[in-house]
Amino acid sequence: MMGRTHALSGAVVWLAAVPVLSQERWLGDFAVSLSPAQVAAGTVVCAGAALLPDVDHHNGRIANTIGPVTKFLCKWVGKAAGGHRQATHSILFALAAGLVMDLLATHVEYAWWVALFVTVGFGLRGIGLDFEKHEVWSSVADCAVAALAVWWMSTLDMSFAGYAVTLGCLAHIAGDCLTPRGCPVFWPARWRLDIPLVPRTDGKVERWVVGPALTLGAAILAVRSVLGDVAVKWLNTG
């Protein structure tokens, strides 16, 4: 799927998960209560993390986010992961990515901010913040907007970011499982899950069905997050 579709799916998954993440009776001490600003920040992080599994693709869209830095990163990860749509497209990777983000937030603060900056940058590149045939200016724009977003997030308690990263990765994997090649969701097992409802990347199904459905879902869930139970009651009675 295209980067914008993955980013949208991450936003939708996060907004849908927020009410669940606050349930202490289900999650106990792992539950988190989020302010509207934290919900918005989580949406940005989750949308960016929904591009993270493609860090194994050195020619992919996100490889040019920060010029040669991310180009080298994607090339190295691709080799270590065994190629595109291998290890990074698994449940194990999604859990590990969230855990690493959480550990960085707890023990290596500056590295955590760098990881957050890169994640947000991936999301911006995914939704189309670039200039055709002008990679340098595209990278500058990505970095500038990502830096502003991370600066804003620095005023918030972002201890929930691990959840956002894991959910974003899972959203990406679920989306790619809807394409013919599928994903090795239980890697290192080689079996691949594929339910080819989206026969071609950027084809008619993705552009005219999946994309609009995700956009509508994101809008509805955003309204619910902002207005809470009032919006839910209105939607249920409308």
Residue 18's pLDDT band, with cuts at 50, 70 and 90, is very high
Residue recorded with tokens 């040019």? 64
Query: Whose CA is closest to 88, among 38, 50, 40?
Result: 50
Beta bridge partners of 183: 193
Q: How far apart are the first and last CA of the chain?
A: 34
| 237, part of any domain | no
Query: Whose CA is closest to 145, among 156, 134, 129?
Result: 129
- Tell me the one-letter amino acid at 188: P
| 238, part of any domain | no
| 186, part of any domain | yes
CA angle (113, 115, 119) in 5-degree steps: 115
Buried b (16+ CB within 10 A) or exposed e, 46-73: bbbbbbbbbbbbbebbbbbbbbeebbeb
Interval 139-159: pLDDT, tens: 888 889 999 999 999 899 998
**Cα–Cα distance, 207 to 216 (Å, whole number):** 13
229: Cβ contacts below 8 Å, ≥ 6 apart? none
**Cα–Cα distance, 155 to 37 (Å, whole number):** 10
| 67, part of any domain | yes
On the question of pLDDT at 238 being above 60, the answer is no
Interval 169-186: pLDDT, tens: 999 999 999 999 999 999
| 93, part of any domain | yes
Question: If you average pLDDT over every residue of the chain, what do you get?
Answer: 88
Three-class DSSP category at 193: strand
Domains: count for the chain? 1
| 140, part of any domain | yes
**Cα–Cα distance, 52 to 50 (Å, whole number):** 6
Question: Are the CB atoms for 66 and 118 separated by under 8 Å?
Answer: yes
Interval 66-91: pLDDT, tens: 778 888 999 999 999 999 999 999 99
Looking at residue 132, what is its pLDDT?
Answer: 66
The predicted model scores a pTM of 0.89
Give the mean pLDDT of 87-107. 94
The residue that leads in pLDDT, 135 or 140, is: 140
Interval 189-237: pLDDT, tens: 999 999 999 999 889 999 999 999 999 999 999 888 777 644 445 545 5
Domain that holds residue 207: 3-232
